[in-house]
Chain A
């Protein structure tokens, strides 16, 4: 990151970097509302320590002096982690999530915790119990979700780096909606220790940034085996930074797959045109464009909403008023206490998903719903395995449409779910996916392009993303709100 290099060369101090970002936050945050908790005092303290360390000759880490915002679903020691929910409004984690520990050790400065859909359930951040976050490109529109706060904070230039989580598209969809780069790593690439679980077999944390290179750098810091998370892989990381700098795979001769099912009915024509331009760019750089088929795509949302809600109904059973968070202190019996605490603490979308998941797992329905969905999950994995015999990477749209307006899908849960159509399959298959800005609609709304690769092959994603970034020249575009005074 050039900011890190400026700090290392003593051209700017960490304290100056923090002050400049806090000033920007002061200016734009009233309109964007990306943050839930701002950590100004601890950020200044961390910056002063970094400045002192540098003056004493300590070697700055790979993210030294770089501000980072953390989605409120990840634990930062001593700072509330609300998950966007009333039920955890008072919860203060006594430890750091592993990925947060690694970011801090690399010298990143934690600026604050960002707003999100309650328990990461949603695609617009409208399901936060603490108010909505606005899209910096159009304040009447949603920033996407569930990591809408992290995405908006990066887009509004409040921070160069933010961390989100992605269970069915919650990093990639808001990245597309806000014109930022967002990566969902391969399942197991980044430790989930300290990530409040929504659907344990789908959740992954990953970075938001303005450039592909910054995302690669953040992933190289965050990833790697962790004895505290048994699902975290021991697979060695690739040289992500080199790949993002164009020193990875060459585009010439690379087989770029275009998934037929991602370009059909429901795709906004302007999104389709912007994505087609990406294919043309890669073809002109010498890539071979091949059509591939992912025939199970049309069933993915149905399978996803069984698998994800089933896991959520189990994971969210722990919020019962006993160990942390809200409790109805007037309840006379234990059962009453559980029920009235959960009724008061959870919002409507969370209740809906707990109900759906409990139903899918309940006696008499397990085979018809959960078992069936897990078989469909196998079919989706096979789809990708087959597609990756013909292509080295898949390039398609991240979302069917540009960002929608507030309230547009709020009372129609199914329509909200369907906005994740192109992203959920990567979670069900466990493969990595990145969304990057690839253009704008005529109305000036960002459009995202999605790159999908084989398990643990983020290096190919970064290689192709950096080539696209260089050819598209959209990374430098900033929303008006971030540049006006």
Chain B
């Protein structure tokens, strides 16, 4: 067994997901199978191999002038918010 039920619940907590008992059990089995498959990477020797750094090809990102340009208005940026007020996103009370 690659992954235990408690581990699944710990990962769910880190990922801001809440799983029911049934859901966690089903996921545990599926993750177990997938991680078992991924273990085949251990067959490959990667000694002395540099890890890839991302997707970019060739020289790093191009530079551009640090010039002032238009951005979204506060109104546009808040237009999709489930709840907003006084130019801010509103969330449930954080400080008790």
Are B50 and A378 in contact, with the CB atoms below 8 A?
A: yes
A143-199 interface with B by 8 A CB criterion? 186-188
B81 to chain A, nearest CB (A): 6
Nearest chain-A residue to B81 (Cβ)?
A323
Contact between B81 and A188, CB atoms less than 8 A apart: no
Q: Which of A95, A235, A372, A456 contacts B46 (CB 8 A)?
A: A372
Instruction: Tell me whether A323 and B92 are in contact (CB under 8 A).
Output: no
- Interface positions, chain A 320-370, Cβ under 8 Å from B, are 320-327, 329, 331-340, 342-343, 346, 351-352, 354-356, 358-359, 362, 369
Q: Check B80–A202 contact: CB distance below 8 A.
A: no
* Residue of A338, A359, A369, A373 with highest tally of chain B CB at under 10 A: A359
Q: Which residues of B contact A456 (CB under 8 A)?
A: 57
Question: Smallest CB–CB gap between A81 and chain B, Å?
Answer: 10
Q: Does A375 contact B (CB under 8 A)?
A: yes
Question: What are the residues of chain B within 8 A of A336 when measuring CB–CB?
Answer: 92
- In the complex, A317→B27 CA distance in Å? 19
Shortest Cβ distance from residue A380 to the other chain B in the assembled complex, whole angstroms: 9
Interfacial chain B residues near A323, Cβ < 8 Å: 80-81, 89
A299 touches B52 (CB 8 A): no
**A86 to B37 Cα, complex, angstroms:** 30
Interface of B is mostly: loop
Q: Known contacts A326-B82, A430-B55: does B14 contact A343 (CB below 8 Å)?
A: no
Question: Would you call B91 an interface residue if the criterion is a C-beta within 8 Å of the partner chain's C-beta atoms?
Answer: yes
Docked pose: A364 CA to B61 CA in angstroms:
32
Interface residues on A, range: 35 or more
Q: Which of A94, A202, A302, A303 contacts B55 (CB 8 A)?
A: A202
A90 is an interface residue with CB less than 8 A from chain B: yes
Pair B17/A351 contact, Cβ less than 8 Å: yes
For residue B16, which residues in chain A have a CB less than 8 angstroms away from its CB?
Answer: 317, 320, 335, 338-339, 342
Q: Does A52 contact B (CB under 8 A)?
A: no
| A187-B55, A200-B55, A430-B55 known; A355 vs B12 contact (CB < 8 Å) | yes
Q: When A324-B80, A351-B17 are in contact, do A188 and B8 touch as well, CB less than 8 Å? A: no
The answer to whether B68 has its CB under 8 Å from any CB of chain A is no
Closest 3 CB pairs between A and B? Answer: A201-B55, A374-B51, A327-B82
Can you offer 9 A-B residue contacts whose CB atoms are under 8 A? A91-B80, A92-B80, A186-B57, A200-B55, A235-B58, A301-B37, A302-B38, A376-B41, A376-B44
